Every structure is written in C-alpha cells, then in structure tokens.
Structure 1
Amino acid sequence: MSNLDAEPGEIDCSGRPTTGVDVVTPRKVPLGGIRAMIVNRTLPTRDRSMIGAWCFADHYGPDPVSDSGGMRVYPHPHTGLQTVSWLFEGEIEHRDSAGVHAMVLPGEINLMSAGHGISHSEMSTDATTVLHGVQLWVALPDAVRDDPHGFQHHAPESAPLGDAGSVRVFIGELVGTSSPIVTATPLLGAEILLEPHTEVVLPVRSDFEHGFLLDTEQLVVDDVDLAHGDLAYVGPGVSTIRLANPSDTVARVILLGGTPFGEDIIMWWNFVGRTHEEIVEYREEWESAATRFGTVDGWTPDDRIPAPPLPTSRLKPRKR
C-alpha cells in the first residue's frame, strides 16, 4: 500500500521502549480522492513510531466498496522495507515490478520485500463488496536493505488458545505455532480471536516489544482498556501479557512484536532510508522512471502515483 498523504512530513523512527502499557490512538487518513477509503493509522504517530521493525500500520474497514470505491492504489515505489498485507474480508490483486501477480485473500499473508527498490499496485477486485484488514510495513536493517526484492506467501492454520479463542500466526512464533515466513530481524505477527467474556495469558518473548491493534470494540490488555482502532504498546522485559474480552462479541486483535530496532532510519512517503540524500535520490529516480523501480505489468507509464514534494527542511533521523 502507498502512503498517499499529500504532504508527508518527516517521520522520526525509533523503537524507544517504555514500561507498562501505552495506548496509541489512531489518526484517520484518506487514501486518495473524494471517495477515498479512510484508514486508521497507528504507526507511525506522534506517540509511537515503531514496534520492533514494524514501522507502519494502517487498519481499515469494514468498508462497503459501493461507498468507498474500494482500494485503487496505482503503481508506486518502495525502498528499504517489506510490505505485509493481511485481510479479514475482501480480495485485492497485487502486481509488482518483479513480475509477481498474486491475490491477497483473508487469512493469508503476502509479504513483499522492496530491498533496493520495487514498484507495485494494489486493486480490490470486482468480486469484493466489503474491504476489511490491515496493511503493515517492516523496516529492513542496513545489512540487507539493498538486497534484491522478493515475495513470500503463507496461509496459516488456526490454533486454539485453550478455551478462550484462537490464533493465526503469520510471522514468527507464538504458543507453539510458527510461520515459515523469513524476516531479517526477529518479528511476530498474529491475528487473535478472543471469545466473549474470556481471557488468556499469553507467554511472550521478554526481549520483544509488543503491540495489540484492536479491530473490534473492546479489549483489556494488562488491565488497560482499549477501544476500536487503538493500539496498546507493551515494552520489553515481560514474559506474559494478559488479554481479556469483556464484551458480548468475539474480539479480534492483531499482535505485532519484535526486538527493538537498533538503527536510526528516515521514513518519508514510501521510502525507508538512512540519510536525507538517499531519500532525495529515491524520489528523483521514481520521478524519472529510473530502472531501480522497474515497471508493473498491465499499467502504462502514465499510470503511476507521482511523488509529493519534499519538505523544505532537511530530513533527519532521530538520535537515540
């Protein structure tokens, strides 16, 4: 997915662990024009910029396509990151400049690694009446951020959480269930369903920081209440986290985790880099149709999202 902010500002990205539970309230961002999809963005925000290497989280729907027009994201570029698509409802067609043509389906992860550079498009299909899901980005560490691009797919099975609910682990490992998806840093990604008026104590890696993004109306994370769209952050140093569902309906939450990212990065528009000069170069190469980003089959050279203007100030990473 593209960051379609008309005037994307500089985003200081760091893990900056804290203790206890912090709640990040989402901000609403329109993806496109008048009939744009509205997404809830919890990463990055002023309150938190990263959870492990997770550096971007958009949560959307359920949106009737007849109202929103669906997802129509034309070819756009990425560098230095991986995109992770996870749907609850709907169907999205993915095409990229590496020649990959794949469908994004509910309960199946598609991970695209931009590496040195890639471009792709994402379009909801004609069969889609409702779109509902999350779009996530992962920052790549310096050692591999200029590697060739790649694509991975996995359809995880549902595993029980005792009598309290179930989990689908799409990245990493949780409660004895693991995913074959390969990542450059230790990560966790999972969809948890919690039955009404139940709770579960999750065993987690104490060297990870964790985020719980609530898709439904109520959830309690270690005695802290969440509302729809909120993200609860729990820093490293804990080995268990308690989730409780006080509502009369099933609670759904996306769990993101990872070791605190040890590098300063600059994230602007759809690029992750390390210096102001790199971001300027990426933008110029996209605007000049350079070979770094290639072309996406099925689209003409005019079918592309132009890069917004750079801010007037110099882009700087946050220093730890």
Structure 2
Amino acid sequence: MSNLDLKPAATLCGGDASAGPVRDLLAGRNVRLGESTEVRRLLPNLGRRMVGAWCFVDHYGPDDIADEPGMQVPPHPHMGLQTVSWLHEGEVLHRDSLGSLQTVRPRELGLMTAGHAISHSEESPREHARLLHGAQLWVALPDSHRHTAPTFEHHAQLPEITAPGLHGTVILGSVDGATSPGATYTPLAGVDLTLSEGSSSRLPLEPHFEYAALAISGSVDVDGVRLEPGAILYLGCGRRELPLLARTDSSLLLLGGEPFEERILMWWNFIGRSSEEIVQARSDWMEGTRFGEVHGYDGERLAAPTLPPVPLKPRGRAR
C-alpha cells in the first residue's frame, strides 16, 4: 500500500532502542487513502519511529465495502524496503512491475521486497467480500541488501503456534520456535495472535529483540496494559515472555526484531540514506525510469508529491 500523504514528512530513523522493558502506549492517527479507505497509522508515530526493522504500520477496517469499490491504490513506486500485506477479512489483488498478479486472502502472506526499485498496485477485486479488514506493514532493508533485485512472494500456508485459548500465525521471522518462509534480511518477528475471551497466556520472546503490540480487534491486556484498536504498545527489550489476558475475543499483531542500528530516511514510498537519494528516486519515478511499469490496472499511476523546498533533514528515531 502506498503512503498517499500529499505532504509527507521526511523521517530519519534508526538506533536508540530502549535498554529494557517498557510499557509505552502510543495513539495512532487517522489517515485517508484515496476516496474510499481510511487507515489508522501506528508507525511511524510521534513517540516511536521503528520497532526492529518494522518502520510503517497501517491498520484499516473492518470496512463494509459491499456497495463500494473497496481498496483502490494505483501503481506507485517503492525502494529500500519490504511491504507486507496482511488481511483478516476480504481480498486484495496485487500487481507489480515484475508481472506478478496475485490475490491475497486472509492470513496469507503477500511479501514484496522492493530492493533497488519496484512499482505495484493494490485493489479490491471487482467481485469482493462485504468486509475489508487488515494491515499494511513495511520492513526497512539494511544497507547490505537495500539494492537487491526486487521480488514478490505469496505464501498461502504459514506456520502456527498454539496454547490454551491462543492461536498464532507467524507472518515473518521466528516466534516460539516457528519460522515463516518469508524472506527476511535482519533478525525479525511478526505474529498474528487470536485469543479467546478470558484466556490467559505467556508468549515466549527473544530478550535481545524489541517488541510492540497493536490490537486488530477486541480488548486484551498486554503485560497489564489494556490494548484496543487505535493504539500501539511499545514494549522495549529485555523480555523473555509476554503476559496476555483477553478481555474479549481478540486479535493482535506482535512485531519485533533486533534494534535497527542504521539511520534511514523515509519519504513518501521511499527509504534511502540521504536527501540526494530521495530526490533521485522521485525524479526516476516521474520520468518513468527505473521502477518499471504495472500492467493491467485500470487507471493512472500515482504522481509523486512535491518535495520540500529545502534538503530533507534528520528528525530522529524516537522522541
């Protein structure tokens, strides 16, 4: 999914992970994507820019799109990152400049590694389910892999973890001994957890990872902090397990990874290391070079927003 903000802020991220466990509850903000979709943007956040290599999280829905076109995100570019499409309800049709054409369904992994350059579109199929509910996430690529050739992966079957009253689907990386088949380039963890009302669990964690949790539905206490849709709870590092108590039937995403030490500059749909890189990427997209072409989408591709009149400046990872 694209960042459709017409005046995107430049964000320099990296370093500065908390040394130990914390319970930092951060509110998201509502952002409109096009004419028909509104999302809750949870990362980057005024209080936290990254969690491991996870650098962007939008949660959308559940939206009733029975009489609507649903998601309609025109072709747009990416570089220096991976996109993760994750659904609880509905379907998203992915097209990209590699020629990929794939419908992603609930709890299937659609993973696009942009690398040096790629473009893609995302849309609800013409005949689609009544509800659309899911998340779009980005993972920053380390310097050693950010110029890699672009790829797209679709995994319909993912490893699962279970405990009384808890079911988990491992999206990326490893959680509780289960490892996703999706490609990763830094030590990472991403799991979708479903909990039954009244259930109590303790999920094993990696103490050298930092973690954050966001509720997709319902109400759940995460290490004693009530979490409901619309906020993200940053948990810091140094934990070996995470207590969970479901107040209602609930689902949440737990994201984690080794603190990302590199400083990265995010603007619009690009991740680079300098203002000059971002300027060049925007020019390449507008001139129709480097990012390829998405075939089959019924509509025009997105134009890049106007760059600010001064060089993009560092803003820090957390504040």
| Equivalent-residue separation in structure 2 for 1:188 and 1:164 (angstroms) | 21
- 1:164, distance to aligned residue in structure 2 (A): 2.0
Q: 1:142 to 1:318 in 2, by over 3 A?
A: farther
Structure 1 residue 310 corresponds to structure 2 residue 307 = yes
| Match in the other structure for 2:100 | 100
- 1:179, distance to aligned residue in structure 2 (A): 1.2
| Match in the other structure for 1:123 | 123
| Match in the other structure for 1:243 | 244
| Match in the other structure for 2:9 | 9
| Match in the other structure for 2:22 | 20
| Equivalent-residue separation in structure 2 for 1:186 and 1:204 (angstroms) | 13
After superposition, residues 239-318 of structure 1 pair within 5 angstroms as: 239-247=240-248, 250-290=249-289, 292-299=290-297, 303-318=300-315
3-state SS, counterpart of residue 20 of structure 1: strand
Structure 1 unaligned blocks of 5 or more: none
| Match in the other structure for 1:201 | 202
TM-score between both structures, scaled by the size of structure 1: 0.94
Q: 1:299 to 1:217 in 2, by over 3 A?
A: closer
CA RMSD in angstroms, aligned pairs only = 1.6
| Match in the other structure for 2:217 | 216
State the AA in 2 paired with 1:94.
H
| Equivalent-residue separation in structure 1 for 2:88 and 2:15 (angstroms) | 28
Higher RCO by CA contacts (8 Å cutoff, separation 6 or greater): 2
- 1:154, distance to aligned residue in structure 2 (A): 1.6
- 1:144, distance to aligned residue in structure 2 (A): 0.9
Q: 1:164 to 1:299 in 2, by over 3 A?
A: closer
After superposition, residues 168-179 of structure 1 pair within 5 angstroms as: 168-179=169-180
3-state SS, counterpart of residue 228 of structure 1: coil
CA contact (8 A) 2:158 2:180 kept: no
Aligned residues: 314
- 1:183, distance to aligned residue in structure 2 (A): 0.5
| Match in the other structure for 2:47 | 47
| Match in the other structure for 2:38 | 38
State the AA in 2 paired with 1:106.
P
| Equivalent-residue separation in structure 2 for 1:156 and 1:187 (angstroms) | 19
| Equivalent-residue separation in structure 2 for 1:79 and 1:158 (angstroms) | 28
- 1:94, distance to aligned residue in structure 2 (A): 0.5
Task: Map Cα deviations across residues 5-27 of structure 1 (whole Å, 9 max, x no partner).
Answer: 11111123235322411112110
| Equivalent-residue separation in structure 2 for 1:127 and 1:14 (angstroms) | 42
State the AA in 2 paired with 1:308.
P
CA contact (8 A) 2:218 2:229 kept: yes
| Equivalent-residue separation in structure 1 for 2:230 and 2:67 (angstroms) | 20
CA contact (8 A) 1:114 1:149 kept: yes
- 1:223, distance to aligned residue in structure 2 (A): 1.0
CA contact (8 A) 2:266 2:272 kept: yes
Task: Map Cα deviations across residues 96-137 of structure 1 (whole Å, 9 max, x no partner).
Answer: 001111111111001001111000010101222211000000
3-state SS, counterpart of residue 283 of structure 2: helix
Task: Map Cα deviations across residues 234-278 of structure 1 (whole Å, 9 max, x no partner).
Answer: 11111111111123xx11001111101110010000000000000
Task: Map Cα deviations across residues 178-234 of structure 1 (whole Å, 9 max, x no partner).
Answer: 211120101111110011011111110011111111011311111111122221111
- 1:161, distance to aligned residue in structure 2 (A): 2.9
| Match in the other structure for 1:58 | 58
After superposition, residues 145-164 of structure 1 pair within 5 angstroms as: 145-157=146-158, 159-164=160-165
State the AA in 1 paired with 2:101.
H
State the AA in 2 paired with 1:26.
G
| Equivalent-residue separation in structure 1 for 2:53 and 2:132 (angstroms) | 26
| Match in the other structure for 2:74 | 74
CA contact (8 A) 1:264 1:317 kept: no
- 1:299, distance to aligned residue in structure 2 (A): 4.2
| Equivalent-residue separation in structure 2 for 1:246 and 1:313 (angstroms) | 49
| Equivalent-residue separation in structure 1 for 2:122 and 2:311 (angstroms) | 31
| Equivalent-residue separation in structure 1 for 2:112 and 2:295 (angstroms) | 16
CA contact (8 A) 1:209 1:260 kept: yes
Q: 1:219 to 1:68 in 2, by over 3 A?
A: farther
Structure 2 unaligned blocks of 5 or more: none
TM-score between both structures, scaled by the size of structure 2: 0.94
Task: Map Cα deviations across residues 126-172 of structure 1 (whole Å, 9 max, x no partner).
Answer: 22221100000010011110111011222345635321211011211
